Amino acid sequence: MSSMTEQHQPLLQVSGLTVKLRGFHTAALVVDDFSLTLERGESLGLAGESGCGKTTAALALMRLLSPGLELTRGSVRISGEEVLDLDEQSFDDVRWRRVAYVFQGAMNALNPVITVGDQIVEAIHRDRTQDMARERSRELLESVGIDGHRAGAYPHQFSGGMRQRAMIAMALAANPEIIIADEPTTALDVVVQAEILDLLIRLQKERGLTTIMISHDLAAIASTCDKVAVMYGGRIIEIGAVEKVLRQPCHPYTRALVMAAPQSHQDFRKISPIPGTPPRPDERGSGCAFSPRCPFARDICRAEQPPLRMVGESSVACHLVEEL
Amino acid sequence: MTPLIEFRDISVHFPVPRGLSDWLHRIPHQEICAMERVNITVHRGEIHAIVGESGSGKSTLARVATRLQIPTQGQIYMNGEDVTILRSRAAMRDYRSRVQMIFQDPFSSLNPSQTIFAHVAEPLIINGTSGDAKNLSDKVLATLALAGLRPAEIFAQRYPDELSGGQRQRAVIAGALVMEPELVIADEPVSMLDVSVRAEILKLMLELRAARGLAYIFITHDLHLAAAIADRVSVMRRGRVIESGLPSEVLKNPTEDYTRQLLASAPTLDEALERRAARNLHAGSLSPPAVARNVQS
């Protein structure tokens, strides 16, 4: 290693990120050993059912966990620099400036009593005069497809899609390298959903942004992302290129998710739901978290947690992957 | 055969509020047309899907069908009887017990301080059809079991926050079913649920149709979903029905551009993957697209 003087550093390298619920005696892990690597300009979709830890993992990256949650271990490196060790003040230079977050629920994430322009100005504020910041907020709105003159409007004067665009503009305020978008299309109309996804693709290309999109909509991930990570019970259970993972899923859970997603010209009666519900963080046993719902589960699945390992071109956490 | 419910030339207009300056400047009264001469017929046991984007008038239709909105124009017939204007309370009560509604958001349509039992029992008590306590309890538990919340005795005592999203939607469905309606208006019943749970709820709705001969008006913005579950699909835009037909026809040969646009904006997983593959092929010759655009201009 030492012989390589200029070792290649990926833009984002997360390893072993683990978040637990405070106040539980047993290990109630909401996110368990979350690791991934993204190169500059890559886009990753984070998929999985509600409650599987997608949002928590992303918030842990931003050091924005709510007080009931605790980051117990893990490392986040941006261009090789460890950012979890930084003190709160130094981390301010990372949050929004290097990694920005588009929060879930565009309908409610904006302050209703402040104009949209002023809210973006608030996000820019530092190092700029008020006038410069206003000018910049107009530019940002234009860049996401909203007329700059609308900066003086209040959130309720915007449609749902426009509010989501404004949220994205706000995330772009400090020219970040990485954007995490949490369910950016949920609760929006289909036509508007397609527009927001197009906007994200355009921004990725024009600005060379690295994006992480959290979504339970596999079709949305397939349209916008290069890679996909599927989470279950707080762990990544399959990660790889979108074409590979969504066309030939290896993990039984990924298969079930793909089967549950609507396909074109398919009789609905053939769509199969996944029986049962995901386990709560304090109810997971020592084995694979999916084993209670898995049709293929054997003794080893119930006893031992399968590690994430390379299978062909993607990584899969399943004991039986070779046999299935 | 007499249809279960028939909407004939229904229009709903809302007045635009007028301020003092409008009055001073003699700006004429304006109206928003939420529904414009809409004709929809639903037969017994039929699932009729209404598809459209926000503001197309599909929720106004639900409000008209549940008598929360009085149409400006047009008639509603139920089993051949004109029910456009119901003057007596008894007639209204009878209508409302025959037409029930399932709302979109199972997280906000259940009272958090009420048990599931109380939620399902409430319509019976309000309508005075509950009978004695034993009768009420039997009916509620049977309905919960029918909606797939088994064992019903245990689920009945739970509060909404103890249930998953799918279970909550089952409880909401039980609340609609307990009146033994003939028609259920389902307004985006699965859009707030996980993909893995959606199929379960849709299957439940189909089972209930088979068991009870229920008819549904299924409101959704997802044309693929509508086509997968419905017997008939009507596409609405700006308050008008612009296309109506069998799901296979509408999906395969849409006659309106708007329907095509709706289909294109919500690709299914396989379509999204295919489009992606096509885009990557193009990217080989054109990349990066931003540069290509500059060259052209």
Q: Is B296 on the interface with A (CB under 8 A)?
A: no
Residue B95's Cα: distance from chain center in Å? 18
CB contact under 8 A, A223 and B166: no
Is A190 within 8 Å of chain B by CB? yes
Chain mean pLDDT for chain A? 88
Range of the domain at B157: 5-265
Q: Measured between CB atoms, which of A189, A257, A274 is closest to B221?
A: A189
Distance from CA of B178 to the nearest CA of A (A): 25
Confidence (pLDDT) at B285: 41
Cα–Cα distance, A65 to B183 (Å, whole number): 46
Closest CA to B237 of B252, B257, B267: B257
ipTM (interface predicted TM): 0.78
Q: What is the DSSP string of B236-271?
A: EETTEEEEEE-HHHHHHS--SHHHHHHHHHS--HHH
Chain A residues within an 8 Å CB radius of B262: 190-191
The pLDDT of residue A238 is: 96
Q: Tell me, yes or no, if B246 comes closer than 8 A to chain A by beta carbon.
A: no
Residue B37 has pLDDT above 70, yes or no: yes
| Segment A191-215, tens digit of pLDDT | 888 899 999 999 999 999 999 999 9
Question: Coil, strand, or helix at residue A59?
Answer: helix
Q: How far A264 CA lies from chain B's nearest CA (Å)?
A: 6
Q: Mutation test of the interface with chain A: which of B58, B194, B256, choosing the one with the most A Cβ atoms within 10 A?
A: B194
State whether residue A268 sits within 8 Å of chain B by CB.
yes
The Cα B58–Cα B64 span in angstroms is: 10
Q: Is the confidence at residue B167, as pLDDT, over 70?
A: yes
Question: What average pLDDT does range B150-165 have in this prediction?
Answer: 90
pLDDT digit string (tens) for A150-191?
Answer: 999 999 888 888 999 999 999 998 889 999 999 998 878 888
Strand partners, A81: A78
**Tokens 């301080």 sit at which residue?**
B113
Residue pairs between chains A and B whose CB atoms are closer than 8 Å: 111
Question: Is A12-262 a domain of CATH 3.40.50.170?
Answer: no
- Binned at pLDDT 50, 70 and 90, residue B271 comes out as confident
Contact B218, B62 (CB under 8 A): no
Q: Is the pLDDT of residue B40 over 70?
A: yes
pLDDT in the model for residue A271: 67
Per-residue pLDDT of B217-246, as tens digits, reads: 999 988 888 888 899 999 999 899 999 999
Angstroms from B278 CA to nearest CA on chain A: 11
In a domain, B294, yes or no: no
Query: Which burial class, exposed, middle or buried, applies to B16 when counting CB atoms under 10 A from its CB (0-12, 13-18, 19+)?
Result: exposed
Whether chain B has a CB inside 8 Å of the CB on A217: the answer is yes
Q: Would B182 be classed as within a structural domain?
A: yes
Confidence class for position A267, pLDDT limits 50, 70, 90: low
For residue B221, give the CATH number of its domain. Answer: 3.40.50.300
At B156, list the tokens.
Answer: 């009945």
Tell me whether B197 touches chain A (CB under 8 Å).
Answer: yes
Q: Is the pLDDT of residue B296 over 60?
A: no
Q: Would you say residue B286 lies in a domain?
A: no
**A189 vs B: CB within 8 A:** yes
C-alpha dihedral, A229 to A232 to A238 to A242, nearest 10°: -40
Percent of chain A topping pLDDT 70: 93
Residue with tokens 């690295």: A210
Which of the residues B58, B150, B195 would you substitute to probe the A interface, choosing the one with the greatest number of A C-beta atoms within 10 Å?
A: B195
Q: How far apart are CA B10 and CA B7, in angstroms?
A: 6
List CB contacts (< 8 A) between B290 and chain A: 205-206
Q: Work out the widest C-alpha separation in chain B, in whole angstroms.
A: 80
A98 vs B267: CA distance, rounded Å: 32
Min Cα–Cα distance to chain A from B31, Å: 19
Q: Spell out the residues 6+ positions from residue B176 whose beta carbon is closer than 8 angstroms to its own.
A: B100, B101, B102, B184
- Going by pLDDT thresholds of 50, 70 and 90, the confidence category of residue A2 is very low
In the block, tokens 């234009």 appear at A142
> Does the residue B222 lie in any domain?
yes
Distance CA(B156)–CA(B153), nearest Å, equals: 5
Query: B-chain residues within 8 Å CB-CB of A277?
Result: 164, 166
Q: Is the dihedral of CA A252, A254, A255, A257 positive or negative?
A: positive
Q: Rounded mean pLDDT of B257-277?
A: 86
Could you tell me if A222 lies within 8 Å of chain B, comparing CB atoms?
yes
Q: Are residues A190 and B53, on separate chains, in Cβ contact within 8 Å? A: yes
pLDDT at B286: 39
Would you state the pLDDT for residue B185?
Answer: 95
pLDDT tens profile A244-265: 999 999 999 999 888 887 776 6
Bridge partners (DSSP) listed for residue B33: B13
Residue of A nearest to B207 (CA): A269
Q: Would residue B278 count as lying in a domain?
A: no
Written as one string, the DSSP assignment of B61-72 is: HHHHHTTSS--S
Set of chain A residues whose Cβ sits within 8 Å of the Cβ of B197: 49, 273
Q: Does A264 touch chain B (CB under 8 A)?
A: yes
Characterize the bridge pairing of strands B232-237 and A309-311.
unpaired
In a domain, B170, yes or no: yes
B237/A contact by beta carbon, under 8 A: no
Which chain A residues touch B228 with a CB distance below 8 Å?
Answer: 262, 266-268, 271
* Mean pLDDT of the region B247-251: 87
Contact list in A for residue B289 (CB cut-off 8 A) is 205
Q: Is there a domain that residue B287 lies in? A: no
- pLDDT, mean of residues A123-139: 83
**B82: which strand partners?**
B77
Section A291-304 average pLDDT? 91
pLDDT in tens, A11-46: 999 999 999 888 776 678 899 999 999 999 999 999
Query: Is residue B12, in this structure, part of any structural domain at all?
Result: yes
Task: Tell me if B225 and A262 make a contact (CB, 8 A cut-off).
Answer: yes
For B131-155, the pLDDT digits (tens) are 788 899 999 999 999 998 988 999 9
pLDDT above 90 as % of chain A:
56
Amino acid at A251: H
Name the residue facing A50 among B165, B203, B266 (closest C-beta).
B165
Residues in B touching A205 (Cβ below 8 Å):
288-290
Q: Is A50 in contact with B288 (Cβ distance < 8 A)?
A: no
Residue A197 confidence (pLDDT)? 92
pLDDT score of B295 more than 90: no
Work out how many domains chain B is built from and give that number. 1
Average pLDDT over residues B281-290: 47
